[in-house]
Amino acid sequence: MLALEGIKVLDFCRNAPGMFCTMVLGDLGAEVLMVERPMDSQRAAYERVASGVTNEEEERRHAAYNALQRNKRSLALNLKEGEAREIFYKLVETADVVVEGFRPGVMDRLGAGEKKVREINPRVVYCSISGYGQDGPYSQMVGHDINYISFAGALGLIGRSEEEPPAIPLNLLADYAGGGLCGAVAILAALMAREKTGRGQYLDIAMTDGVIYMMASLVSAYYEHGVAPRRAGHRLNGGAAYYGVYETSDGKYLTIAAIEPWFWENLCRALGREDLAGSQAEAESSGEISKILAEAFRKRTRDQWFELLKDNNISVGKVYSLEEALSDPQVAHRGMVVEVEAPDLPEGSVRQVGIPIRLSETPGRVRHVGSVTGHHTSDVLAGLGYQPEQIQDLRRRQVVQ
């Protein structure tokens, strides 16, 4: 048994935030159906440039390796056509969740907005994931992760010094956490509430809001003390010598997080600098002590330092490339790389990221790889009662693909 077994999700998402949200639901057992636009020549050209694929075989391979598409089926509907909307409305009748990631108003114009959906099925949980939310002065602005984290105040805190521009992180904060994870949590909460009320509800998830939410501790400290953190000025963003990144003799890097006094004492002892053990308060301002630590760490390689420090009650980590991270024994032990059957590919299987949400009674599972646009259209329509000749006619008239 899977935790979300029996929950039906209609997925209108085209980008990472919503696709990650529904990936989480699918990994936990939900039946996710991607409702996609038919792949016309313009969209096909864009998708192939974005993904780097050049033909149908590579497209199938890309879909199979793409974890964001796993545990999902694909239906291609042209919602600009009335008959396509009728197909969607039939799906809504038995759906539990609808997730969309368009700008506010787009789904309404397609006849698939929250009000219309809840007219058909009041039990549906309808989740909209957008950059700035469904209302407010920025709601209609286009954007991407870097824009959302800049407005949220997070980007301005990331970097080595205030004299240098902020460092641009990957699109993990807003897209995957502020949007995808917050969306998944909201959906699960709404499904729980539905058990008590019998009704679904509307979920307005803004990625910018989500990033601010994750900065709860910093916001609290600001309102308590009236002093805003600055780039490389907080002990956890480069302002303290005991919490930082240090280069080693082989040109690689090590992370040190000796926040607690006993960890700091252990570190000083391991470095042969017991004289620094009482100077943690001075290390708050980095400066001279950072230089001492930097000089010390350049005397050994990254892996030598790790072996020396890891068993001495010291918070230490190796700065990995992605290749190294995926080969690490801890990652392997935790099952964070999984082998998934891919019968349509010559190799027969693909490797994907594992599932970090570990449930003892109803663990998640990667049941199947992703598929190309419209792969399950005929199956879905047949399940709704359409006959083969009707399906062929709908394809011919480009209502579906």
Q: Is 393 a catalytic residue?
A: no
Question: Which residue in the block uniquely carries the two structure tokens 């001492």?
Answer: 292
Distances (CA, A) of 32 to 14, 61, 109, 278, 367: 14, 20, 23, 57, 12
What is the residue type of 275?
Answer: D
Q: Is 234 a catalytic residue?
A: no
Q: Give rounded-to-5 percent helix, strand, coil for the chain.
A: 45, 15, 45
Tell me how crowded residue 334 is: count the other CB atoms within 10 A of its CB: 12
- 306 closest CA partner among 251, 253, 242: 253
- 4 closest CA partner among 200, 199, 198, 184: 184
Query: Do 236 and 228 touch, CB atoms closer than 8 A?
Result: no
Say what angle helices 261-270 and 302-309 make with each other, to 10 degrees.
Answer: 120
Query: Do 190 and 200 touch, CB atoms closer than 8 A?
Result: yes
Catalytic residue among 27, 145, 175, 209: 175
Tell me how crowded residue 35 is: count the other CB atoms within 10 A of its CB: 22
- 71 closest CA partner among 18, 39, 33, 127: 33
| Whole-number Å distance between alpha carbons of 246 and 193 | 48
Catalytic residue among 144, 234, 368, 376: 144
For 53, residues 6+ apart whose C-beta sits below 8 A from its C-beta are 47, 59, 61, 62
| Whole-number Å distance between alpha carbons of 256 and 314 | 8
Spell out where 221-365 has E strands: 243-247, 253-257, 316-318, 337-341, 349-353
Q: Using a CB cutoff of 8 Å and minimum separation of 24, what contacts does 271-275 make?
A: 271/296, 272/296
Instruction: Cite the DSSP H helix spans in 124-237.
Output: 145-151, 182-197, 207-214, 216-225
Query: Do 75 and 394 touch, CB atoms closer than 8 A?
Result: no
- How many Cα atoms are found within 13 Å in the side-chain-facing hemisphere of 181? 14
Which residues carry out catalysis? 144, 175
